Amino acid sequence: MASSPRDAVLAQLRAEVRGWQADQELFDATVAEAAGLNRTTWRCLDVLGTRGPMTAGELARAARLTTGAVTAVLDQLEAAGLVVRERDANDRRRVIVHVTDEVDRRAAPVFGPLMADSDAALATFSDRELEAIVRFVRGERSILVRHAARVGEARGMAPAGGESG
């Protein structure tokens, strides 16, 4: 039982964040399935979409996959028209993976209504409240990246290419 009103609110917040994470996982799984992609392929597409173009090796580290697994993922995404591999203009040995405009075209009917609902929910917050939410989410992401590295290192895994904001 909470020993103070603050403890009670913190417990509620932690429960809501855990629930949000679970709901996000379920939503992502549903969207991946609807797109005809498995969760690993979807995760790689999401990493590329949120972090921008990168090499296959960088993607492998970010997604905690082997380079062989990432090659298979990229073959699937490229065949679906969702990514392209292009030679780096500065170093022709490097190949950079980019998402295509097809991703936005296919995502619009799925994420458009979600974003509209999210925008309506966020409209109920003041600018100061939104700034606090941004600080909270940014901080939580940083904590997750740090602890994913800690747990991975304890298991002898290479660090992921996480990003905290």
In tens, the pLDDT along 54-69 reads 999 999 999 999 999 9
Cβ 38 vs Cβ 32: under 8 Å: yes
Q: 12-58: per-residue pLDDT in tens?
A: 999 999 999 999 999 999 999 999 999 999 999 999 999 999 999 99
Average pLDDT over residues 69-77: 97
Q: 80-104: per-residue pLDDT in tens?
A: 999 999 999 889 889 999 999 999 9
Pairwise CA distance, residues 111 & 30, whole Å? 12
Token pair, residue 4, equals: 């103070």
Coil, strand or helix: which one is 96? strand
Going by pLDDT thresholds of 50, 70 and 90, the confidence category of residue 105 is very high
Going by pLDDT thresholds of 50, 70 and 90, the confidence category of residue 153 is confident
Q: Rounded to two decimals, what is the model's pTM?
A: 0.82
Angle at the Cα of 105 (from 22 to 77), degrees rounded to 5? 70
The mean of the pLDDT values for the chain is 92
